[in-house]
Structure 1
Amino acid sequence: MSHSFSHDTHPAAQEDVTAPSTPGGLTPLSVALIEIALAAGGFGIGTGEFAIMGLLPDVATTYGVSVPVAGHVITAYALGVVIGAPIIAVLAARMTRRLLLLSLMGLFAASNILSALAPDFWTFTALRFISGLPHGAYFGVSALVAASMAPIHKRTRAVGRVMLGLTIATLLGTPLATFFGQVFSWRAAFMMVGGIALVTVALLWMFQPRDKVQEGASVWRELGAFRRVQVWLSLAIAAVGFGGMFAVFSYIAKTTTDVAMMPVSAVPIVLALFGIGMNVGNIVGSRLADLSLNGTIGGMLAFNVILMTIFSLTAHTPFMLCLCVFLIGCGFAACPAVQTRLMDVAADAQTLAAASNHSAFNIANALGAWLGGVVIALGYGYASTGYIGAALSFGGLLVFLVAVMLERQEKAPRI
């Protein structure tokens, strides 16, 4: 069963040159089971990525290092995502999508189980880097598979359903892994993540149909994605525009206690509001993007400029802090839209472009956290992270407007 990934905003992509060769006539139940299997992998990845943040003190104690030094394992994982997504997408150009998904989740399972057994800090750090390698490619290929099974006017919703695994992980998976880590050992948390990954391998083996290597697929065709200006611009929208969310979120615990003067016990509630917002944004944003892809991206970036400015102005009020954090989480609404836009503009090099989206989001994570830390260190206070978020969202909006303008110029009739 093969559907075009084209969109009415990209006529050049009208021919289906990239959809995987999957069996025809998939039933709604078969599609649902495949989406559940793909989302399970996202749940495992999301849980593994975020659980470490609550377990850093325990890791530091085990290996006899300071908490800031232990924090290097988070950087190592993010570096693995940034490097792994494009490299794996290119090297795996001649693999079927089923085999690639199974291999990626197998690597993720092994590296997390080995992380739980790591005898020293540097081995643990290296294994966290390896754990990050499959992250972007898995989400990218999952998005392509999900979109290939959906009608053209519902494909972003299909992408959003697969990404629900990641957003639900922020609400359920991460707290559960943190609980296991605190009650038993941080090593138990990584064993749990490895177990989720092994369950995903089993689900993919059972439900993901066998497919064929795409005709004409090659390393050089995938690398062709980086010759397209619109691919670079779409990645820049993600890397810059969504840095604002991370600028605020990275320091939200201290903002809650030091600015809004809420008790430490309120921090988990604020974090949960952010997670609920991400899930709401993912569901609503996917539907909006199927109605208007560009409208959803541009609208959410403009919304974030205003919202994050309000956050800085009102963060001292507990109610407004909670409301703004929930709405900032809703900003995830643009993520499935950007993912789909990348599939559109990449033409026949979709695997690399789709996987690189998650490299861009990890760059946004690093950029937002770094700039937020800079303004705090300069003495502007934790609430000032909202202004940094607004500036980054505005930067992403400018990149988006340039992309749309160039797109219209390309479509304009030549005289």
Structure 2
Amino acid sequence: MRLPLFSLMLVVFGLTTGEFVIAGILPEVAGALSVSIPAAGQLMTAYALGMIVGGPVVTVLTARLPRKQLVTGLIIVSIVANLGSSAAPNYPVLLAARFAAGLVVATFFAVAIATAASTAPAGRQGTAVARVALGMNLGIILGTPLGTLIGQHAGWRATFAAIAAVTLAALVLVLRYVPPGPPAATGPLLGELRVFTGRDVRLAIALTALGNVGVLAVFLYITPLLTDVAGFSADAVPGLLLGYGAGAVAGNLLGGRLADRALMPSLAGLLAALAGVLALFWAVGEVRVLAAVLTFALGVAAFAIIPGMQTRVLTTAHAAPTLAVAVNASGFQLAAAFAGWFGGRVVDADGGLRALPLIAAALTLTGLATALVILRGEPEEVPS
């Protein structure tokens, strides 16, 4: 099982790096294309919008393609879009290329998750999902810094070319090791869409959005929290974020194992732990040592909930799991967009930055409440 999962994880690594690396090369892009820094920042927004739109649309349009043929096509689109980004002659073309690159992400992630779960041994679906999702963690903590380093020394165009090269290498592995599979849909399209009429599916997607919105708001403003509240120097932030990333890797693997043992009870417990870490960040975040420890703990808690949330969507959407996971990914991006807007409003208020972790903890409790509603409607889970 490891080589197919590694192949899919490597693609996810490239896709995630492509989303976040723009933050590290903003000055280079802005200077080369003669646009402002905020305008260059919209390239990340274009990628996210591509994911939001592409999640349901691309998944529905490609639902009857055989799984391996679909995966191959999606990877090729990503490679072409990144090469197009590398060669873009001006800002509008680059903006369009980033949107195109984002279009395939949610569908690929959904197919990769469904493939991982379907090829995993019984009782190991959560671990398999976590291994694929590990590509997200590595894209943030490894791919983005490496892409930034390449952009600073070889130019921003080389960054997108490098992402295309990594994705191409992943394609070779996918063609060699990922087994063929049936199409995501074989029946009428309307039957696929009916999956969202199910209460359990809607609650699973709501759980993802509500459970993540608070921690996303804190992560988006983690640098000023560490410098302006905790009192760290700007030079210390990269090391602290590396600690966050290390926690994210550990949390992702832990969350997969807990999901295999007792899915919803573990999710409820992890959401409670996440709310607790956020509340502690508010209470003692001005103490540097504790802020550093809590930054690592925040990475653990934030990513421990992801494998279980993805597995929950899969287990409730038997009729159309790929479409449901794709829409769930789009929902996550909408939550991120809301977190950015809401977090900005909070930070702009007097004392808002200091209060943001506490407000985020309260938002996380809405996710916990959703998990408890789901648990109340299910028979008691017996740990495996």
Tell me whether 1:121 sits opposite 2:91 in the alignment: yes
Deviation at residue 407 of structure 1 after TM alignment? 4.3
* Pairs within 5 Å for 1:60-79: 60-79=30-49
Identify which of 385, 389, 392 aligns with 2:356.
385
Secondary structure in 2 aligned to 1:398? helix
Secondary structure in 2 aligned to 1:329? helix
Match of 1:245 in 2: 215
Secondary structure in 2 aligned to 1:242? helix
| Residues in 2 aligned to 1:242 and 1:213: alpha-carbon distance in whole angstroms | 30
Identify which of 89, 95, 98 aligns with 2:59.
89
Match of 1:400 in 2: 371
Deviation at residue 191 of structure 1 after TM alignment? 0.8
What is the letter of the counterpart of residue 323 of structure 2? L
Identify which of 315, 338, 342 aligns with 1:371.
342
Tell me whether 1:326 sits opposite 2:305 in the alignment: no
TM-score scaled by length of structure 1: 0.88
What is the letter of the counterpart of residue 261 of structure 1? G
| Residues in 1 aligned to 2:226 and 2:50: alpha-carbon distance in whole angstroms | 31
What is the letter of the counterpart of residue 43 of structure 2? V
| Residues in 2 aligned to 1:34 and 1:45: alpha-carbon distance in whole angstroms | 17
Identify which of 109, 113, 118 aligns with 1:139.
109
Match of 1:205 in 2: 175
Q: Check conservation: 1:94, 1:218, Cα contact below 8 A.
A: no
| Residues in 2 aligned to 1:32 and 1:217: alpha-carbon distance in whole angstroms | 31
- The alpha-carbon distance between structure 1 residues 115 and 350, as it changes in their structure 2 partners (threshold 3 A), is same
| Residues in 1 aligned to 2:359 and 2:69: alpha-carbon distance in whole angstroms | 42
Match of 1:9 in 2: none
Tell me whether 1:274 sits opposite 2:241 in the alignment: no
Identify which of 304, 321, 340 aligns with 2:311.
340
Identify which of 192, 200, 209 aligns with 1:222.
192
| Residues in 1 aligned to 2:46 and 2:257: alpha-carbon distance in whole angstroms | 35
Secondary structure in 1 aligned to 2:182? coil
Match of 1:236 in 2: 206
Q: Check conservation: 1:157, 1:290, Cα contact below 8 A.
A: yes
* 1:92-140 Cα distance to aligned partner (Å, 9 max, x none): 1111110111111111111111011111112111111111111111111
TM-score scaled by length of structure 2: 0.95
Identify which of 73, 81, 85 aligns with 1:111.
81
* 1:37-86 Cα distance to aligned partner (Å, 9 max, x none): 11110110111111111111221212222212221111111111111111
Residue identity over aligned pairs, in percent, reads 37
What is the letter of the counterpart of residue 60 of structure 1? A
| Residues in 1 aligned to 2:80 and 2:363: alpha-carbon distance in whole angstroms | 37
Tell me whether 1:165 sits opposite 2:135 in the alignment: yes
| Residues in 1 aligned to 2:298 and 2:331: alpha-carbon distance in whole angstroms | 19
* 1:320-366 Cα distance to aligned partner (Å, 9 max, x none): 21111111111211111011110111121111011222112212211
| Residues in 2 aligned to 1:217 and 1:180: alpha-carbon distance in whole angstroms | 46
Q: Check conservation: 2:267, 2:305, Cα contact below 8 A.
A: yes
- The alpha-carbon distance between structure 1 residues 215 and 311, as it changes in their structure 2 partners (threshold 3 A), is closer
Number of residue pairs aligned between Structure 1 and Structure 2: 379
Gaps of 5+ in 1: 1-30, 410-415
